[in-house]
Amino acid sequence: MSAPKPAALVLDGVRVDLSGVRIVSGIDIAVGPGERVGLIGPNGSGKSTLLRAVYRHLRPHSGGVRYGGADLWRLPPRQAARAIAALPQENHADLELTGYEMAAMGRTPHKGPFAADTDEDRAAIGEALRRTGTEHLAGRAFAGLSGGEKQRVLLARALAQRTPLLVLDEPTNHLDVRHQFELLDLVSASGRTVLAALHDLNLAAAYCHRLYVLDGGRVTAAGTPEEVLTERLVAEVFGVHAQVVANPRTGRPHLILNPAEPSGGGAAPG
Ligand SMILES: Nc1ncnc2c1ncn2[C@@H]1O[C@H](COP(=O)(O)OP(=O)(O)OP(=O)(O)O)[C@@H](O)[C@H]1O
């Protein structure tokens, strides 16, 4: 009943152009089976574009995306959708679906056209709603949910798909702090292979085994959070000052962030 055993995701020289503009190029990324890899980088650096090339919304102009050795772009759509589930940034507010129906869309790759839900479908949907704490949203119109509620229902859809690979684009968008932790705990506990774009560097440090830094459409650094999240790199890539300390509870790197050149002496408000 659980997702198949996770395999490795490999991006090999991926390049994507949009409207004749090169957005990302020469991207080599390897995510081991069951590994959680974070993609970090400033606005416009190409994170979403790259993820779309992985979850088959934007065909790369060159390079390959392989999962478990198979070229994801050559797989029949249904087979690909049994391997990879995505939590994209796009909003589906236009769809007239309930929370349950949205989560149930995750079962589409496992069913024939117009086939009724099987016991396994219902179990997968129910478990996904329960794990994401969204059972109470099942009967509500998806379009009327709050941003955070939508995000959690979309995660339920991805989990109901029961794929061994998850691609997450800003999964903590709209979520309050408790739900940010809960979502990433849930994803971590799932044991899936994960590639996720994250803006929050501390969450990236806390939940990812390794990080890739994207800047100007290229990978400029990669390694463990300890290796990547240095004061120098954060200053160069994000233009802010970071003091790196160890989280006293977890031992993971934790960044105390401030503007690069504090003005007004950095006095505390009030
Ligand atoms: N159709 C398009 N034509 C030209 N440029 C585009 C097109 N779509 C996106 N871009 C540009 O591609 C670049 C990368 O966008 P992308 O959304 O991948 O970045 P991102 O790193 O995910 O950004 P953010 O952190 O703001 O979400 C941006 O400069 C964006 O303006």
Query: Would you kindly state where each structural domain of the chain is located, as residue ranges?
Result: 9-228
Instruction: Decide if 134 contacts 156 (C-beta within 8 A).
Output: yes
Pocket of ligand 1 (CB under 6 A): 18-19, 21, 23, 41, 43-49
pLDDT of residue 151: 93
Eight-state DSSP code of residue 143: G
| Smallest CA separation from ligand 1 atom 26, residue | 43
How far is residue 79 CA from its own chain's centroid?
20
User: In angstroms, what is the span from residue 19 Cα to ligand 1's centroid?
Assistant: 11
Instruction: Decide if 159 contacts 131 (C-beta within 8 A).
Output: yes
User: In angstroms, what is the span from residue 203 Cα to ligand 1's centroid?
Assistant: 23
pLDDT of residue 41: 98
Eight-state DSSP code of residue 241: E
User: In angstroms, what is the span from residue 120 Cα to ligand 1's centroid?
Assistant: 39
Which residue out of 18, 87, 172, 173 has the highest number of ligand 1 atoms within 8 Å of its CB and is therefore the one to mutate? 18
Q: What are phi and psi of 144, to 5 degrees?
A: -90, 0
Instruction: Decide if 23 contacts 198 (C-beta within 8 A).
Output: no
pLDDT of residue 261: 74
Kindly report the CATH class assigned to 9-228.
alpha beta
ipTM surpasses 0.85:
yes
User: In angstroms, what is the span from residue 63 Cα to ligand 1's centroid?
Assistant: 19
Instruction: Using alpha carbons only, give the angle 131, 133, 135 rounded to the nearest 5 degrees.
Output: 100
**What is the distance between the alpha carbons of residues 12 and 30, in angstroms, rounded to a whole number?**
8
pLDDT of residue 115: 80
**What is the distance between the alpha carbons of residues 54 and 47, in angstroms, rounded to a whole number?**
11
Instruction: Using alpha carbons only, give the angle 132, 138, 142 rounded to the nearest 5 degrees.
Output: 95
User: In angstroms, what is the span from residue 26 Cα to ligand 1's centroid?
Assistant: 17
Eight-state DSSP code of residue 141: B
In the chain, which residues have pLDDT < 70?
Answer: 1-2, 91-94, 262-270
pLDDT of residue 270: 46
Atom of ligand 1 nearest to the CA of 170: 27
Instruction: Decide if 203 contacts 191 (C-beta within 8 A).
Output: no
Nearest to 128 by CA among 67, 183, 171: 183
Q: Give whole-number Cα distances, 98 to 16, 93, 101, 142, 223, in Å.
A: 35, 11, 5, 5, 41
User: In angstroms, what is the span from residue 43 Cα to ligand 1's centroid?
Assistant: 8
Instruction: Using alpha carbons only, give the angle 108, 57, 15 rounded to the nearest 5 degrees.
Output: 145
Say whether 102 sits in a helix, a strand or coil. helix
Atom of ligand 1 nearest to the CA of 23: 12
**What is the distance between the alpha carbons of residues 108 and 143, in angstroms, rounded to a whole number?**
20
User: In angstroms, what is the span from residue 49 Cα to ligand 1's centroid?
Assistant: 6
pLDDT of residue 269: 58
Atom of ligand 1 nearest to the CA of 42: 25
Alpha helices by DSSP H, the chain: 47-54, 77-83, 99-104, 119-131, 147-160, 177-189, 201-207, 225-228, 231-238
**What is the distance between the alpha carbons of residues 222 and 233, in angstroms, rounded to a whole number?**
11
pLDDT of residue 263: 55
Atom of ligand 1 nearest to the CA of 199: 25
Which residue is listed with tokens 């379009």?
143
Q: What is the 3-state composition of the chain as percent helix, strand, coil, each rounded to the nearest 5? A: 35, 30, 35
Atom of ligand 1 nearest to the CA of 41: 21
Which residue out of 47, 172, 198, 238 has the highest number of ligand 1 atoms within 8 Å of its CB and is therefore the one to mutate? 47
Nearest to 155 by CA among 167, 143, 145, 144: 167
| Smallest CA separation from ligand 1 atom 7, residue | 18
| pLDDT tens digit sequence for 50-73 | 999 999 999 999 999 999 999 999
User: In angstroms, what is the span from residue 141 Cα to ligand 1's centroid?
Assistant: 30
